Amino acid sequence: MSARDEDPLMISEKLKKVILAELDLDGWDIQDRTTAGTVPGWDSLSHVQIISAVEAAFGIRFKTAEIVRLKDVGQLQALIDAKT
């Protein structure tokens, strides 16, 4: 059993790195309950860039409806996990 199975809301280091790189932030604490509105620079344009970067980094594609339903980073991680 992996750590991801034990704690389904744990955010992977890979996802954190992708988000922080797109926002040009170092060391910002990204958690499962983190929302776009709580992170400096995470606006609608950067949201699109983050989603594109996540798709590229993980080799997956999201449907628009999936993206629209996301409420926090934990839900994004769960969606990534379901597709990988």
Q: What is the pLDDT of residue 2?
A: 40
pTM for the full predicted model: 0.84
| Residue 19: CB atoms within 10 Å | 23
Task: Say how far apart CA 25 and CA 8 lie, in whole Å.
Answer: 25
Q: What is the pLDDT of residue 9?
A: 62
| Tokens (6 digits) for 72 | 């926090």
Q: Which fold has domain 3-83?
A: 1.10.1200
What are the pLDDT tens digits along the chain (84 aa)? Answer: 344 444 556 899 999 999 999 999 988 999 999 999 999 999 999 999 999 999 999 999 999 999 999 999 999 999 999 999
